[in-house]
Chains A and B, each alone.
Chain A
Amino acid sequence: MNFIITTIDAVLNWGRANSIWPLTFATSCCGIEMMCASASNFDIARFGSEVFRPSPRQADLLICAGTITHKMAPLLLRLYQQMPEPKYVIAMGACTCGGGMFSALDCYSVVRGIDKILPVDIYLPMCPPRPEALFDAILKLQKEIKKESILTRKEFLESHKLFLKEEDGILVRKVDEYEYSRNDKE
């Protein structure tokens, strides 16, 4: 039985790891580096990830490239929710990892790290990261995907459902909760 499960796991994970189709999503300067990664000097196509899907319904990976403002946060969350399982997130750039140069207390507009609103698989902190660093992140993600198993898939999904929590029978998005806490601080 274990033999069958591990074989299925190996085939599935091989397929998933080797065909990560990213979503076309870029909000600022990290997006320029992401475009550069698919151009001729660096060539993201070598890893099979050059198929940038414009629709989140067909994407596997959300490369969150660039600063996320409070106004953009609900849209980012909606894009993440529109993606089908299995889905992965790379937080690209210092702004998405923890606010970056906007992390000072007096900045009113920037989300201090996208892990406040959605689960992040790989953090890639630089300002902005070079294309090689993005490839490193994708390779690390491939290694993570190859460790997955269909037996632990349910727990994995539960742990990634953090952005939805139930309060008095009503589903509250984590971004709403985040909005409250931000208002409290101010």
Chain B
Amino acid sequence: MNYLLCTLMEIPWLPKILAVIITSGIAFCIIISLLVLTVIALVLIERKLLGFFTQRKGPNRVGLWGVLQTTADAIKLLCKENIELKHADKILFTLAPIMAFASVIVLWCLIPYNSEFHLINSSVGILLYFFFASFPMIFHFLAGYSSNNKYSILGAYRGLALTASYSVSIIFSVLSIILITGTMDLDKIVLYQSHKWIIFSNVLGFIVFFITSLAKLNRCPFDLSEAESEIICGYHTEYSGMRFAMFFLGEYAELFVMSMLIVVLFFGGYLSPFGGYISNTFMGNCPISSYLIYFEQTIWLFIKTLIVIFSIIWIRATLPRLTQFSTLNLFWKYIIPVSMINLIIIFLVRF
């Protein structure tokens, strides 16, 4: 992207602002198409896997082996009626799903996909990530608050209580990584792991981060804010059609990007797990091998991410939902002390 920007800047008749706009437009198109395709595939994978875990077949009638199932869902949701509520706060009600989805797109731009393609390459990448990752929760709360429904507001309050309990431990476990690597740049954190992944030196931090990211993603066993057997749908009870699809899309996009962050922080990001790259070994003499490496890095990142997502879906198929009190107990009494102890241990080992 930087290369493209520099090339466009050098064209004499093109205004510089136009070059910036063209570059960011191309980047946005790449990210949004990647996001939508990944989410459509991800929902299908989850439904298939949940089927396999409960000895069912999963969707298999639409298209070959049911691969077009989620496409049909997307078409249906696009053309469904959008119900306007009489007693809702109309501006907030419309704005909340859009903003919750938009903040997830920013998260997708912060991840280094390979050693070249990194859209927002900032020296405080982790900080920016957690700044923007706190946005969806706020807009979920606003959605529940604005729809003027008792179940929505219950779900919204539950989400806020959960946010207050997981934020501390997630920041502590990230701090331990910053202590180990000495940087907040996601690129440098990935390159630090070229010899040894961080998970080997920070096992406790990984466990804390994984559990808290489940809570952050509203996934089972912490899906309190949309517990369908207690409060109908939680914060999106009153949403229908495309607005509901926005929440759905944002939720799964956040699941994917959070798994990518877990891979980047603990499993070496886009680096190959074998040390050398396959395309370098087999096609080292080929003139395009330097470009093939970028593709291979992205593929490695996606494979590792899919393994993390598989374990998250596995947990969903296995565990029942925790109650409100036991969730708060778990976080305030066990996870936060463990993350503090982990931080102290890392500090003592490091200095």
Q: CB distance B237 to A55 under 8 Å?
A: yes
Segment at the interface with B among A38-46, A119-127, A158-166, A178-186: A38-46
B73 CB–A CB distance under 8 Å: yes
A50 CB–B CB distance under 8 Å: yes
Q: CB distance A50 to B240 under 8 Å?
A: no
Segment at the interface with A among B28-36, B56-64, B164-172: B56-64
Q: CB distance A84 to B72 under 8 Å?
A: no
Q: CB distance A45 to B59 under 8 Å?
A: yes
Q: CB distance A18 to B61 under 8 Å?
A: yes
8 Å CB contact of A57 from B73, B74, B239:
B239
**Residues in A neighbouring B75, C-beta threshold 8 A:** 11-12, 14-16, 19
- Which one of B76, B236, B238, B239 has the highest number of Cβ atoms from chain A below 10 Å of its Cβ? B76
**Interface residues of A toward B: which range?**
20 to 34
Q: CB distance A57 to B69 under 8 Å?
A: no
Give the interface SS of chain B, mostly helix, strand, loop or mixed: loop
A33 CB–B CB distance under 8 Å: no
- Which one of B47, B59, B83, B238 has the highest number of Cβ atoms from chain A below 10 Å of its Cβ? B59
**Residues in A neighbouring B56, C-beta threshold 8 A:** 39-40, 43, 45
**Residues in A neighbouring B71, C-beta threshold 8 A:** 15
B66 CB–A CB distance under 8 Å: yes
Q: CB distance A12 to B79 under 8 Å?
A: yes
Encode B44-58 as 1/0 by CB contact (under 8 A) with A. Answer: 000100010011111
8 Å CB contact of B57 from A11, A46, A57:
A46
**Residues 8-22 of A contacting B (Cβ, < 8 Å):** 11-12, 14-16, 18-19
A109 CB–B CB distance under 8 Å: no
Q: CB distance B73 to A48 under 8 Å?
A: yes
Determine the residue in chain B with the shortest Cβ distance to A84: B81
**Residues in B neighbouring A53, C-beta threshold 8 A:** 233
**Residues 257-273 of B contacting A (Cβ, < 8 Å):** none
Cα-based distance from A155 to B120 in the complex (angstroms): 52
Q: CB distance A50 to B47 under 8 Å?
A: yes
**Residues in B neighbouring A55, C-beta threshold 8 A:** 232-233, 236-238
8 Å CB contact of B83 from A40, A57, A60:
A57
8 Å CB contact of B61 from A12, A47, A51, A57:
A47
Cα-based distance from A158 to B68 in the complex (angstroms): 33
Q: CB distance A84 to B76 under 8 Å?
A: no
B244 CB–A CB distance under 8 Å: yes
Q: CB distance A48 to B240 under 8 Å?
A: no
B333 CB–A CB distance under 8 Å: no
**Residues in A neighbouring B76, C-beta threshold 8 A:** 15-16, 18-19, 60
Q: CB distance A85 to B62 under 8 Å?
A: no
Cα-based distance from A24 to B233 in the complex (angstroms): 12
8 Å CB contact of A15 from B58, B66, B79:
B79
Q: CB distance B233 to A54 under 8 Å?
A: yes
B80 CB–A CB distance under 8 Å: yes
B82 CB–A CB distance under 8 Å: yes
A58 CB–B CB distance under 8 Å: yes
**Residues in B neighbouring A16, C-beta threshold 8 A:** 75-76, 79
| Known contacts A15-B75, A43-B51, A54-B233: A84-B241 contact under CB 8 Å | yes
Determine the residue in chain B with the shortest Cβ distance to A20: B76
8 Å CB contact of A18 from B69, B82, B241:
B69
Cα-based distance from A18 to B238 in the complex (angstroms): 24
**Residues 217-235 of B contacting A (Cβ, < 8 Å):** 228-229, 232-233
Q: From residue B142, how far is it (CB to closest CB) to chain A in Å? A: 18
Encode B109-143 as 1/0 by CB contact (under 8 A) with A. Answer: 00000000000000000000000000000000000
Seed contacts A40-B54, A45-B47, A84-B81; 12 additional CB < 8 Å A-B pairs: A11-B75, A12-B79, A24-B228, A40-B56, A45-B51, A48-B61, A48-B73, A55-B236, A57-B238, A57-B244, A84-B240, A84-B241
B positions within 8 Å CB-CB of A: 47, 51, 54-62, 66, 68-69, 71-76, 79-83, 228-229, 232-233, 236-241, 244
Instruction: Please name the 3 residue pairs, one residue from A and one from B, whose CB atoms are nearest each other, closest first.
Output: A15-B75, A84-B81, A18-B72
